């Protein structure tokens, strides 16, 4: 009995000692960089973006010398836009349109409409048709902003009704993930949140949420022009506010059937947007836009000198001064082309939203350039339907109204699986080095890393080993903090060494009994690092509604044509360089844990100095873990645009053979 009590006391003491040791270590200052380092990555990306847009400004100055050079630039921009918008359907399929209801008002009627933009991918819409005057009437498409109710928003209903009362047939369609078109009913939020979540899978298969919305817009124009009430001899007008301004901007450059356009509460300088509200959701940007020098106003360059009106709220979070500067650039361009009157800026002293002055401005613009009518437009009191009254589908959601409905998530997954054979043939038909060269091109890994400086920033002594704080400074890059663990003993002995990268930060496994201590007990040297955006440099500025803690740094990286994953691969290989330069290192291994897993997989495939790879608690397939799992948060940092046309992560894991690979899914 006494022995049992003594044993219990001993175990209790040892447990307390262990806890005390753990807490003491946790209380130590493990940071290597000064405070404020969480801003380093985003500020670096902003600087790169600023330099590219400064170069764009020089290009504009050189271009605005003659109408010919201006037109050439617009054509070149359009060609680049067609490349980055991603894969669109090769042909148009039957719309299978039907009208499911009708409501009459004084001067116009509203028809509830459903059609298929792709097979079994339904678009819900409301068609506003004038009931006075003689038809057919000119057509206008109205794109919804990010209102949860889509076409049911009172502001958008009023905009459409005003246009109808002024003699236009108007189609107002729900965007994906809004109104009746929720793509994932169990999503934490719809609209902007779902646009972001779906964009990860879209980009991997060479598509984009912008492209999906563009195609819905193209097919909406097809439906509008199929109606007898629409005058097909006239150009189609387009307008939309906020997210609808986004859709208007992207579509007006791509569809030649659109004449006058009026994007509202959207157009500004992209650089200024990054500096203020950030890159916003997945329907507002495309990979490589910044790399190609494409700014928001450039979508107007692509269609100049077609009539383009910029509508703005002077107290908008889309900074009005930047909107005014963009509109001034358009005016300069149109003046050079001899059509200065075909672009204007209309604003009102209010906040973000399709307010009455902006609705009147959009309607006046359509009348002026489609009807040759400059009479004033004054909006009367207008009827507004509630969400239930305007819905076109049986249940209010297409995913429950149509048993065979195909969502964007399902379209992405089907495409990813279709590409499996293409990926297999790519690796089968080409030499490994050819395949890996393509991988390096896609992720934008540096062909030759620049000189790296390593600076010691302090010591943390331990029994049996020493910890040195390192600042690893790649030339032209952001500093990478590291902790170098070296076992005590023969300083001339050659040892195995491991680069340890953990998405939760370099200190996550430094606890007593952690993975790093196990490696030290095996006699290894360990360099534990914070890849950019992890640990000390983890960005804190992304809005929670996007369900991605790396939302802004991932998106701006893709805009720059440098996926965040590729930048991190450069960091990891720089750490391999640091260990390779040590006289006491014999062989180098890599551990990639959590969000660092895909980085480590790429690094080991690319660099055969890495003797073995261990991947812990990480995704190991873009198809299975990202595209097939669209509700999973925090995945955008793993995304490489168009990668699934050439490879998935298992292809890289196979390429590492015969070197050892260990995959550990569980903690």
What SS3 string covers 457-515? EEEEEECCEEEEEEEEEECCCCCEEEEEEEECCCCCCCEEEEEEEECCCCCCCCCCCCH
Residue 425 is assigned to a structural domain of this protein:
no
- Which residues 6+ apart lie within 8 Å of 240 measured at CB? 142, 143, 144, 145, 246, 247, 248, 263, 264
Judge if 215 and 343 occupy the same domain.
Answer: yes
Judge if 573 and 510 occupy the same domain.
Answer: yes
pLDDT in the model for residue 227: 98
Judge if 261 and 297 occupy the same domain.
Answer: yes
Query: Could you tell me which of 353, 288, 365 has the C-alpha nearest to residue 318?
Result: 353
- Beta bridge partners, 467, equal 460, 485
pLDDT in the model for residue 447: 81
pLDDT in the model for residue 657: 96
pLDDT digits (tens, 9 = 90+) for 20-30: 333 335 567 89
Judge if 376 and 458 occupy the same domain.
Answer: no
Residue 85 is assigned to a structural domain of this protein:
no
Residue 604 is assigned to a structural domain of this protein:
yes
Residue 303 is assigned to a structural domain of this protein:
yes
Cα 366 to chain centroid distance, Å, stands at 33
Residue 84 is assigned to a structural domain of this protein:
no
Q: Which of 406, 422, 448 is the last residue of a domain?
A: 406
Provide the number of structural domains found in the chain: 2
Judge if 520 and 659 occupy the same domain.
Answer: yes
Query: Residue 25 to residues 15, 18, 20, 30, 400: CA-CA distances in angstroms?
Result: 15, 11, 9, 9, 54
pLDDT in the model for residue 24: 34
Report CA torsion sign: 294, 296, 299, 301.
negative
Judge if 400 and 501 occupy the same domain.
Answer: no
pLDDT digits (tens, 9 = 90+) for 545-568: 667 789 899 999 999 999 999 999
Judge if 492 and 365 occupy the same domain.
Answer: no
Residue 441 is assigned to a structural domain of this protein:
yes
pLDDT in the model for residue 17: 32
Domain at 244, CATH number: 3.40.50.1820
Judge if 253 and 344 occupy the same domain.
Answer: yes
Six token digits for residue 618: 């990480």
Judge if 623 and 560 occupy the same domain.
Answer: yes
Residue 57 is assigned to a structural domain of this protein:
no
**Whole-angstrom distance, CA of residue 457 vs CA of residue 143:** 55
- Beta bridge partners, 20, equal none
**Whole-angstrom distance, CA of residue 527 vs CA of residue 571:** 13
**Whole-angstrom distance, CA of residue 540 vs CA of residue 38:** 7
Judge if 147 and 258 occupy the same domain.
Answer: yes
pLDDT in the model for residue 12: 35
**Whole-angstrom distance, CA of residue 199 vs CA of residue 538:** 22
- pTM, to two decimals: 0.93
Judge if 395 and 476 occupy the same domain.
Answer: no
Judge if 198 and 336 occupy the same domain.
Answer: yes
Q: Give the domain range for residue 486.
A: 29-36+434-664
**Whole-angstrom distance, CA of residue 221 vs CA of residue 224:** 5
pLDDT in the model for residue 552: 92
Residue 448 is assigned to a structural domain of this protein:
yes
pLDDT in the model for residue 490: 75
User: pLDDT below 70 — which residues of the chain?
Assistant: 1-27, 189, 545-546, 666-667
């Amino acid at each position: 009995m006494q022995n049992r009590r003594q044993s219990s006391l001993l175990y209790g003491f040892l447990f307390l000692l262990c806890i005390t040791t753990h807490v003491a270590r946790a209380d130590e200052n493990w940071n290597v960089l000064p405070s404020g380092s969480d801003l380093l990555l985003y500020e670096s990306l902003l600087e790169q973006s600023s330099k590219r847009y400064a170069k764009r400004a020089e290009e504009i100055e050189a271009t605005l010398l003659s109408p010919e050079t201006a037109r050439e630039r617009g054509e070149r921009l359009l060609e680049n836009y067609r490349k980055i918008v991603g894969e669109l359907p090769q042909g148009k399929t039957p719309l299978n349109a039907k009208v499911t209801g009708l409501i009459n008002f004084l001067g116009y009627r509203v028809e509830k409409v459903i059609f298929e933009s792709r097979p079994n991918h339904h678009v819900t819409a409301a068609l506003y048709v004038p009931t006075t005057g003689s038809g057919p009437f000119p057509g206008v498409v109205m794109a919804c902003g990010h209102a949860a109710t889509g076409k049911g928003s009172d502001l958008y209903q009023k905009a459409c009704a005003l246009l109808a009362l002024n003699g236009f047939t108007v189609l107002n369609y729900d965007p994906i993930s809004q109104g009746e078109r929720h793509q994932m009913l169990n999503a934490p939020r719809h609209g902007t949140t779902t646009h972001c979540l779906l964009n990860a899978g879209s980009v991997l298969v060479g598509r984009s949420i912008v492209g999906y919305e563009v195609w819905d817009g193209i097919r909406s124009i097809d439906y509008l022009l199929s109606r007898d009430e629409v005058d097909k001899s006239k150009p189609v007008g387009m307008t939309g506010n906020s997210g609808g301004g986004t859709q208007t901007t992207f579509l007006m450059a791509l569809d030649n059937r659109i004449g006058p356009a009026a994007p509202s509460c959207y157009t500004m300088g992209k650089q200024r947007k990054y500096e203020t509200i950030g890159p916003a959701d997945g329907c507002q940007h495309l990979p490589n836009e910044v790399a190609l020098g494409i700014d928001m106003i450039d979508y107007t360059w692509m269609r100049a000198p077609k009539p383009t009106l910029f509508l703005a709220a002077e107290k908008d979070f889309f900074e009005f001064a930047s909107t005014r500067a963009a509109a001034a650039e358009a005016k300069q361009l149109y003046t050079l082309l001899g059509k200065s009157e075909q672009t204007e800026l209309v604003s009102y002293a209010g906040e973000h939203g399709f307010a009455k002055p902006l609705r009147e401005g959009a309607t006046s613009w359509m009348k002026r350039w489609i009807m040759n009518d400059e009479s004033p437009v004054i909006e009367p009191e207008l009827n507004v339907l509630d969400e239930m009254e305007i819905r076109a589908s049986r249940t209010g959601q297409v995913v429950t109204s149509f048993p065979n409905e195909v969502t964007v998530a399902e379209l992405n997954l089907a495409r990813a699986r279709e590409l499996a054979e293409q990926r297999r043939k790519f690796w089968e038909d080409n030499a490994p080095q050819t395949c890996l060269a393509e991988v390096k091109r896609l992720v934008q890994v540096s062909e030759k890393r620049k000189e790296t400086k390593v600076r010691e920033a302090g010591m943390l002594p331990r029994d049996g080993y020493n910890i040195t704080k390192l600042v690893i400074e790649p030339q032209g890059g952001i500093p990478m903090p590291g902790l170098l663990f070296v076992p005590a003993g023969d300083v001339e002995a050659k040892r195995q060494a491991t680069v340890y990268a953990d998405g939760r930060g370099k200190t996550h496994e430094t606890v007593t009994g952690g993975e790093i201590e196990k490696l030290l007990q095996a006699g290894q040297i360990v360099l534990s690092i914070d890849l950019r955006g992890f640990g000390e440099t983890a960005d804190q500025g992304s809005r929670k509604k996007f369900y991605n803690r790396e939302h802004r740094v991932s998106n701006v990286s893709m805009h720059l044509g440098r996926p965040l994953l590729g930048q991190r691969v450069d960091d990891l290989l720089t750490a391999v360089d640091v260990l390779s330069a040590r006289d006491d290192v014999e062989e180098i291994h890599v551990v990639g844990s959590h969000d660092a897993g895909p980085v480590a997989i790429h690094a080991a495939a690319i660099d055969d100095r890495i003797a073995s790879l261990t991947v812990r608690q990480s995704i190991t397939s873009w198809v299975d873990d990202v595209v097939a799992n669209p509700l999973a948060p925090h995945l955008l940092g793993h995304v490489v645009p168009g990668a699934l046309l050439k490879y998935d992560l298992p292809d890289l894991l196979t390429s590492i053979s015969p070197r050892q690979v260990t995959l550990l899914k569980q903690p």
